[in-house]
Amino acid sequence: MATVRLTKDQCQRDELPGLCARCGRPASTHIDRTFAWNPPWVGVFLLAGILPGVILLFATQRRLRVRLPMCERHLRHWRSPTTFTWIGLPVCLGIIVFGLFVLGEIHHGASPVANAGVFTFLAWIAVVGVWHSRLIRPERIDANGIVLTGVAEEFADAVEAMREESTPTRDYGEYDDEDRPARPRRNRYEGDD
């Protein structure tokens, strides 16, 4: 998997290559997705207190809508983990409540079902955390655009090639200062699909 920078123009004018953002194979459709991002330091304030943390969370959040090309296989790239997340929570809580209050009442004590519910809940948290960390997600959103990680190497290469071909002398603001005169390079890390 790779990381790619998309300018606001590329996101809003549909100027992305016809390759699936996830696997790099030819894309057959698009997914409109609004990404949200907060500066990492906001997390410190969430630990310090829920109310100031939540206020800062809303005050500092940046959102950007991106029309990402996808293949048929990856049409449910975000939908499946989102469904699992929202169905899993009430299921786990339901098992715990059933074990504690229904079976606990019948057997006059703690039921093993309640313990099983707690273990299921912990497993659900772990699965959700790992699954969401492997999705295409924003690493940063700023005035210039968005940095997306978890995309295919082929997609990232095609995005940069298209940008260089279409606007070779364009001013990209702060990115230019960091990267010129060499070709802008994106971060890479090894990972599987």
Q: Of 17-25, 57-65, 101-109, 183-191, which segment contacts Zn ion by CB under 5 A? A: 17-25
Stretch that binds Zn ion, among 1-9, 13-21, 61-69, 92-100 (CB under 5 A): 13-21
Please tell me the distance from the alpha carbon of residue 88 to that of residue 153, in angstroms, as a whole number.
32
Nearer to Zn ion, 73 or 76 (CB): 73
Q: How far is the CB of 130 from Zn ion (least distance, A)?
A: 20
**Candidate ranges 19-27, 112-120, 131-139, 165-173; the one touching Zn ion (CB under 5 A):** 19-27
Radius of gyration of the chain (CA): 22
Q: Which residues contact 189 (CB under 8 A, 6 or more apart)?
A: 1, 2, 3
Q: Which residues, in sequence order, are bridge partners of residue 26?
A: 19
Amino acid code (one letter) for 181 = P
Q: How far is the CB of 69 from Zn ion (least distance, A)?
A: 9
Question: Which amino acid is it at 36?
Answer: A
C-beta of residue 136 within 8 angstroms of C-beta of residue 68: yes
**Under rule CB under 5 A, residue 2 binds Zn ion:** no
Helices (DSSP H) in the chain: which residue ranges? Answer: 8-12, 42-48, 50-60, 79-97, 104-107, 112-133, 153-166, 174-179
Residue 156 is a binding residue for Zn ion (CB under 5 A)? no
Count other Cβ atoms within 10 Å, centred on residue 34.
Answer: 8
Q: Which is nearer to Zn ion, 24 or 99 (CB)?
A: 24
Mark the segment that binds Zn ion (CB under 5 A) among 1-9, 16-24, 134-142, 174-182: 16-24
**Least distance in angstroms from the C-beta of 8 to Zn ion:** 24
Q: Torsion angle of alpha carbons 177, 181, 182, 188, nearest 10°?
A: 10
Give the binding-site size for Zn ion (rule: CB under 5 A).
Answer: 6
Q: Is 22 in the site for Zn ion (CB under 5 A)?
A: yes
Which residues in the 47-106 window bind Zn ion by CB under 5 A? 71, 73-74
Query: Closest approach of Cβ 192 to Zn ion, in Å?
Result: 14
